[in-house]
Amino acid sequence: MILRRAGTYILLTAIALAFVGPFLILLSAGLKPSHQAVFSFPPDVIPRPPVLDWVIEAWTAIPFPQYMWNSVIYVAITVPAYLIVSALCAYPLAQMRFRGRNLIFFAILSTMFLPSEVMLIPRFMVVSQLSMADTFAGVILPGILSAFGIFLLRQTFAGVPREIVDAARTDGCHELRIFWHVMLPAARPTLAILAIFGFISVWNSFLWPLVVLKDSAKYPIALGVAYLAGITGTDVRSLAAGTILSIVPVVVVFMLMQRHVLEGMRGAVKG
């Protein structure tokens, strides 16, 4: 029993190191002084001494605060709109009876199997026709609708007992009130998970902003880090420091929301 438990802990520790190892190497590279080699064998991951020179250089070499602020704007608009639209689409598919409901659901579900790169040209054509190319709206609009969000919320809404919905309708509640007071509270853990996924997706978005934006002043942080790589060239330390700075908000948001994630996972296991 003791050996089995020790083996389990050793295996879990090895898996954790495999995931955390690249991040630690990145952090080490961003804090190493110039006289200490970034790449060496055996690996030397402890900065001696740690310095902030490369963090300052990454912050000042490009308009880093502006790129961070752009990403905050994209997240602040896209994620709430994404949750609202996904919930409004999922509710009728889960709790209303109308002709063609399953066909619509499977049509939405089928888009999950398409690579995102396939949709770049159609999306760009639509955004261009709406005169939204090279604008904040052009970056935000395609991220509002997600088949994954609709699917996950539809499954959550379908798990709400139909007797509760019927009782609310009998009491005179209209559909919007049922949606707001019954469905959304029941789907709170799922909404938290989708909010985290949406935040990470929007914060790390690279390809679509690269396609639709021409003005570098509107770049999100992921494009800003790529821009930093073009400026610094082979300066691995500055690039590592800039990457660490861009990751910090994601880690903070996840730490704040991890309780909701665990609740959602616990509910999914029970279901």
Looking at per-residue pLDDT, the higher value among 181 and 127 belongs to 127
Confidence (pLDDT) at 95: 84
Helix (H, G, I), strand (E, B) or coil at 130: coil
Evaluate if residue 211 carries a pLDDT over 70. Answer: yes
- pLDDT, tens only, 213-265: 998 899 999 998 888 877 766 678 888 888 889 988 888 888 887 776 666 55
Confidence (pLDDT) at 232: 65
Evaluate if residue 269 carries a pLDDT over 50. Answer: no
Looking at per-residue pLDDT, the higher value among 110 and 37 belongs to 110
Confidence (pLDDT) at 255: 81
Q: Label residue 202 exposed, middle or buried (CB < 10 Å: 0-12, 13-18, 19+).
A: buried
- pLDDT, tens only, 17-28: 888 888 888 888
Evaluate if residue 158 carries a pLDDT over 80. Answer: yes
Percentage of the chain lying above the pLDDT 90 cut: 26
**What six digits make up the tokens of 67?**
């790129």
Rounded to whole angstroms, the Cα distance separating 32 from 26 reads 10
In 10 A of CB 162, how many CB atoms?
9
Evaluate if residue 61 carries a pLDDT over 90. Answer: no
Average pLDDT of the chain to the nearest whole number:
85
DSSP per residue, 71-114 = HHHHHHHHHHHHHHHHHHHHHHHHH---TTHHHHHHHHHHGGGS
Section 201-218 average pLDDT: 91
| pLDDT tier for residue 69 given thresholds of 50, 70 and 90 | very high
Evaluate if residue 70 carries a pLDDT over 90. Answer: yes
- pLDDT, tens only, 130-157: 999 999 999 999 889 888 999 999 988 8
Confidence (pLDDT) at 208: 92
Confidence (pLDDT) at 170: 79
